[in-house]
Structure 1
Amino acid sequence: MPRDEPEWIMTRRRALGERIGDLRTAAGHSQESFAEATGISRRTLQRIEAGEGDPRYSDLLRIATALDKDMVTLMQTSTS
């Protein structure tokens, strides 16, 4: 990661990535097909799901739209 972050931020980032991966899988998408559906590169999607770095707001909007979820639903994680 580009900078040191407090553990609570890294924990929530990982939880968000896991949630996105779970929702993607439940929707029947592979990472490749989901990358195509969202217009996000597969590598960027892999990094988001792994909780690496900060996802761009526009990428989160694309993900929420492709999953037919609003941003609040997308961001709900067990650590929130």
Structure 2
Amino acid sequence: MPRLPPPTERVAARRRAIGEQIRAARLYANLTQEAIALRIDMTLSSYNRIEQGHASPLLDTLIRIADAIGVPLAELVREE
């Protein structure tokens, strides 16, 4: 499989922003990273990489995270 080029700065910045929005929603819901990772059947380290903006999650994973936190998907990916 061909390797993808590194993300542009805009893409990397948006990925970090989405990770921050996920973290804020999780904290507002008073949930730990471990609780979310367990709810979505993901390792804690993989989930942490999403929140830190180091991993690019699939849409299905973002939907599962939103459901686990109890927020609409749009809240996690909105641009401010």
The two structures have a TM-score, normalised by structure 1, of 0.84
Q: In 2, are the aligned partners of 1:17 and 1:50 still within 8 Å (CA)? A: yes
CA distance in structure 1 between the aligned counterparts of 2:19 and 2:79, rounded to whole angstroms? 10
In structure 2, the partner of 1:20 is 22
Counterpart CA distance in 2 for 1:73 and 1:21 is 12
- Whose RCO is larger (CA < 8 A, sep 6+)? 1
What is the TM-score when the length of structure 2 is the normalising length?
0.84
Partner amino acid for 1:37?
R
What is the RMSD of the two structures over their aligned residues, measured on CA atoms?
1.5
Following superposition, the deviation at residue 72 of structure 1 comes to 1.6
Secondary structure of the 2:55 match is coil
Aligned match of 1:72: 74
Match of 1:58 in 2: 60
Larger Rg: 2
Equivalent residue number for residue 33 of structure 2: 31
Q: Amino acid of the residue matched to residue 41 of structure 2?
A: G
Deviation of 1:57 after TM superposition, in Å, equals 1.4
Identity of aligned residues (%): 31
Q: Which runs of 5+ in 1 are unaligned?
A: none
Unaligned runs of 5+ in 2: none
Question: What corresponds to 1:7 in structure 2?
Answer: 9
Equivalences, count = 77
Could you list the per-position Cα deviations for residues 48-78 of structure 1 after superposition, in whole angstroms to 9, with x for gaps in the alignment?
0010131111210110111222222221142
1:40 matched residue in structure 2: 42
